[in-house]
Amino acid sequence: MSVKTALGTARRVLVIDLGGLGDHIHSLPALWLIRQNAPQAELCVVGNSGLYGVLTPWIDRPIVYRKAGLKADLGFIGQLRRLKADVAIVITSSNHAVSFGGLSGAALRIARKADENKRWSWQPWLLDVVAEHPFHEIPMYRQRWNAFRALGLDGERPEFHVAIDPSLRRKAGILEADDGRYLHLSASATDDRRDLPVAQMIALWNGLRARFPERPFAVSGHGTDRGRAKLAAILAGIGYTPEYVFDGSLDVHGFMSLVQGAALHVGPDSGGLHVARVAATPSVSWFRPNHHLKNWFPDDPEQHRAFVAPESRDDGLHGFDLQVFIDAAAALLDRVP
């Protein structure tokens, strides 16, 4: 039986998509492709970030996985087996994800092969079909869509289908009059090596305020001790008080609504950048130089201006002329009504 036929006749389809917020966003087109090819099935999706649910009403049963040790994982596998899925599809290729899909008890188990930098030996023994597509050549969302489209599924192009709720901005305190006007500034990524040093962030946020004094600013940080400390250090160093400050207090849905309402997103290679893409919000971002850059680098320079640091150290990215970011922000804002 072909993959397309199996999906078209399945009663329940289980998808394993482990990763962070950016990972989940890059999986959305592949998930929508699966949904299109299994319209009759109950679609159950396992993820980490809490993205799936209200934002994706076409997913019937979102399941949140929290890593908590071997005993908890064995219990989680039991939970998946009780679903009695007809097809299990692993979008991400981590050992955990393949183990969950391969041991799910589904009649047909499919996964994308991991890239050449990761070990791939025992995984095929748990699978019936392995989808393959090169890494490091095009953005991840296109890789994943292409990999499963090549199995014979029907689909014209990668599509992002999310239902972001504007009312969540009101609940967070954003005035309706500021929608489409404010700049959203992200204080940090999850790793110092992907961030600008604090002194440079202070200089950048001051420079943006000087260039755009008429615009409200909404700034946010990660809801971790490190994220809050970095945001606090930047706020202590800048010469103004932003109109809106969020120190990790927003959930995923609220954060996506915040980014959607902005005229521009400015920040590092992190979840906020990928949210900006799916929310159709222009962005300016910076990246650490590495071999998997093309997996996550924006492919729409008309809407998303991204820059690669000349040098990456343990304390952050170095060698940027901050004026480049400010000029890019101005160019994008000139096109906002």
pLDDT, tens only, 170-200: 999 999 999 999 999 999 988 889 999 999 9
- Torsion, Cα 72 111 279 182, to 10 degrees, reads 50
Q: What is the predicted pLDDT for the residue at 149?
A: 97
Low-confidence ranges of the chain (pLDDT < 50): none
Global pTM reads 0.92
Q: What is the predicted pLDDT for the residue at 337?
A: 66
Q: What is the predicted pLDDT for the residue at 293?
A: 87
- Comparing C-alpha atoms, which of 40, 172, 33, 44 is closest to residue 105? 44
Where do the domains of the chain lie, and which CATH numbers do they carry?
A: 3-149 (3.40.50.2000), 167-333 (3.40.50.2000)
Condensed to tens digits (0 to 9), the pLDDT of residues 153-176 reads: 999 999 999 999 999 999 999 999
Q: What is the predicted pLDDT for the residue at 115?
A: 85
The 108-112 sheet, strands edge to edge: 61-64, 42-47, 12-16, 87-90, 108-112, 129-131
Q: What are phi and psi of 128, to 5 degrees?
A: -100, -30
